[in-house]
Structure 1
Amino acid sequence: MRRGLLIAFSLALGGLAAPVAAQDGRLAATLDEFLERYGFPGATAAIALPDGTVMAAATGLADVEIGRAMTPETPMLAASIGKSFVAATVLALESEGRLSRADLLLAHLGDRPWFDALPNAGTITIDHLLQHTSGLPDHVHLPEFQAEWTRLTTDERDFDPERLIDFVTGEAPLFEAGHAWAYSDTGYVLLGLVIEQVTGQAWHEAVRTRLLDPLDLGGTVPSNRPDLPGLAVGYIAPDNPFGLPARTADAERRLLWNPAVEAAGGGFASTSADLVRWGHLLFGGEALEGPYLDRLLDGVPVAPDAPGILYGAGVAIYADTPRGPVWGHGGWIPAYVSSLRHYPDHGVTVAFQINTDVGIANDESDLVPALEAALADLAIEAVR
């Protein structure tokens, strides 16, 4: 039985685009080849061409135990790619005059009982949070959070993201705000709280009303509960630090942990086709009303010895690669890996999702960079 399944269609961006049949077949074949080479359970991938044509394919299994096939419409947890939605919502609110990137966090959350114990409480700005220059520790990597993982992720109550802030209150800052770079999921949890404070909506509702609904991204939904419809089952190494079994869902495909714990550090399940549509629109300047790319791509270096790698507003920026500049974001969460990349010199966008993190989370496998490169070359060749 052929494992590669494929769909091709056009984004509604001003007319139908002609299908590219040769690349259609090659996308499915590329995924099949990677399945044979790396032995993951299943994957989806999508390519967006400059004219709006989107090709999507799937290979392997979304549920190994029952032999459920992966399809292009199968959602997976998108993890930190969700930061691009959160950041774009902040930029939209700035365009609406509801906040400014220069605002001190104090102006929006200063009345919270934990605020004064936050590292760098009085000097953090919205822009610092967007760019990971706040000096906040990342709660995800603190031993206290990891020790509480099981309790936090099996709690059946509506998850309160302020519980995550407690893990960094009282901690020393990593550096003065704005003086260095350190990735912090905690910073994006705080941005979610700011969005809620400014809009009066749950943060993911603000994302939906400003981005998901207007852009017709119906395959992207909040990952705020364990029973996400149609979700591919995820697989993880048996000796993982989270104490999860190798299959991270029960027989009804309900997750054995609550993904709401990610809060605005990610917070969405999506498909590769939806992610590539999102990247095509976001990086093409079509996702928001009015200009915003200068703010989106206003990046800071992530390390002194890597001046060509920057981080903007929820976007990683690689200024110089063999394929020209690259803009995008990766996503990892237990048992799921996602990637979104845009190549502005060529006008193409690629995305993929895999329902395992075995060999990826610990950097033993080159699967992610190899698949990113293969998809990029396929997309670029299609427009030559």
Structure 2
Amino acid sequence: MSHTHCRRISFRLAGLGVCLVLACGPGPDSTPDPATEPQPSLSPEATAALVGAFQAELDAAWAQAQETDENFPGATAAFILPDGRVFGFATGLSDVDDEVPMTPDLRMGSGSIGKTYVAAVALQLAMNGDLDLDAPVATWLGDEDWFSRVPNHADLTVRNLLNHTAGMIQPYFEDPDFAVRLGEVFRDPDAYMTPEEFIAETVLDAEPLFPAGGGYHYSDVHYTLAGLAIEEATGRTYYDLLDEFFLDPLGLDLTLAADRRDLPGLAQGYAHRSSQLYGTPLEVVVDGRFILHPLQEWTGGGLVNNPQAMVRWAKLLYEGEAISGDDLPQLLEVGFPADSTRPHLGYGLAVSVAESEHGLTYGHGGFWPGYNSLLAYYPDHGVAVSIQVNSDDSRMRDHMPRLAGVVLEALDGTEG
């Protein structure tokens, strides 16, 4: 894996937004080779124009949200160009009551985007010969007293779990009784369900939705089981493997394991949706600490993140650079096509493969009380775009196409 060194250049644009540019190049110990170094995708003048246009679009999205009463206190966003340069942005407010501006380096819970890292860890273990994705999950969890009560337990493979073809419900949104129980847990800031408790509360003795491999249904329970299998197979914690394989060597310093309440650099989050679902307070950060224990999510998501790190992660992951080995065919192979006429579209190993108005995309979304996140990589362009909003009830999917369009149109202009 190659390493890069990023030089930070900060400047303020008009309005609420602050733009941080990360000019990335070879690491300090590397010797640049002019024949192999990527050339800048845009001239300095075109880059400055793109940065200004992207910030203006992000500010416009925030301003429009205020007029339409959308729950959009503030946002961070970023894009990465084909040459690897990353640009980070912010708009609106990190803290509404104290009128604290959002800034580009703040972290938010990234929800199920964390699944992309879990699948990458599993796939790296498979490349290393330490985990067989097509072996029965019972290989590692079969001795647990509760495992025989898991739906489809006899036929489940790790791949079924990672591509959501294992046939279990998504309890966070489909089980009203679970929402009540989770609300009771959330009343104690230091409480959370262990993975085993979460499984016991949601799927034990339930009828499967379909036979293993016989359909697609998204569920966090799948990734909880995958996390337990990963730890049993290796004798190590998932977070240790994540640090060793990806976060440390790739320099993803803005991405942190959400394994405690006192995580640095948090933007205030506003749980507009979760307060209705689970009875949580509206503000999820008090004195720099989460009021809900993030370990409730674990391998269902389990990270605090930032768009600048996420776009770097997406480019490395979906261009085959993050994982050592020929991983892309497995990563992008959908388990159950979303459209039988287009069998390449659907859900792979923690990646949604879809068509957008800007062409094919690989990516994921994420929800955690107080935050919404979205990450998209455009393989035809070598570009990734990400946005995080510090509300869990915003309409990010309306904003992402316009933000991506600003970047892709600027690149198309140079190519034309």
The TM-score, its normalising length taken from structure 1, stands at 0.92
CA distance in 1, matches of 2:377, 2:358: 10
2:10 is aligned to: none
1:349 is aligned to: 384
CA distance in 2, matches of 1:335, 1:76: 8
Instruction: Please tell me whether Structure 1 or Structure 2 has the larger radius of gyration of its CA atoms.
Output: 2
Q: Is the contact between residue 140 and residue 229 of structure 2 (CA under 8 Å) also seen in structure 1?
A: yes
SS of structure 2 residue aligned to 1:269: strand
CA distance in 1, matches of 2:23, 2:322: 17
Structure 1, residues 51-91: CA drift from partner, whole Å, max 9, x if none? Answer: 10111100111111222221110000000000000001100
1:152 is aligned to: 185
SS of structure 2 residue aligned to 1:337: strand
Residues 220/146 of structure 1: CA separation in 2 closer, same or farther (3 Å cut): same
Unaligned runs of 5+ in 1: 361-366
Residues 322/35 of structure 1: CA separation in 2 closer, same or farther (3 Å cut): closer
CA distance in 2, matches of 1:138, 1:297: 22
2:405 is aligned to: 377
Of 55, 65, 76, the match for 1:38 = 65
2:11 is aligned to: none
Of 241, 263, 278, the match for 1:242 = 278
Of 292, 295, 311, the match for 2:347 = 311
- Give yes or no for the alignment of 1:135 onto 2:153: no
- Give yes or no for the alignment of 1:5 onto 2:18: yes
The TM-score, its normalising length taken from structure 2, stands at 0.86
Tell me the percent identity. Answer: 37
Structure 1, residues 107-126: CA drift from partner, whole Å, max 9, x if none? Answer: 01111111011111110001
Q: Which runs of 4+ in 1 moved over 6 A?
A: none
CA distance in 1, matches of 2:340, 2:315: 30
Residues 4/155 of structure 1: CA separation in 2 closer, same or farther (3 Å cut): closer
CA distance in 2, matches of 1:158, 1:322: 40
Unaligned runs of 5+ in 2: 1-13, 27-31, 67-71
CA distance in 1, matches of 2:182, 2:326: 41
- Give yes or no for the alignment of 1:300 onto 2:313: no
SS of structure 1 residue aligned to 2:333: coil
SS of structure 2 residue aligned to 1:46: strand
Alignment of 1:197-346 (within 5 A): 197-237=232-272, 240-250=276-286, 252-301=287-336, 303=338, 307=342, 309-318=345-354, 320-346=355-381
Root-mean-square deviation (CA, aligned residues, Å) is: 2.0
CA distance in 1, matches of 2:24, 2:132: 32
2:199 is aligned to: 165
Q: Which region of structure 1 is more displaced relative to structure 2, 49-58 or 199-208?
A: 199-208
Residues 302/182 of structure 1: CA separation in 2 closer, same or farther (3 Å cut): farther
SS of structure 1 residue aligned to 2:374: strand
Q: Is the contact between residue 102 and residue 127 of structure 1 (CA under 8 Å) also seen in structure 2?
A: yes
Structure 1, residues 333-353: CA drift from partner, whole Å, max 9, x if none? Answer: 222100000111111110010
Alignment of 1:56-67 (within 5 A): 56-67=88-99
CA distance in 2, matches of 1:70, 1:302: 39
Structure 1, residues 186-221: CA drift from partner, whole Å, max 9, x if none? Answer: 000111111211222211221111111111101000
CA distance in 2, matches of 1:282, 1:217: 13
Aligned length: 375
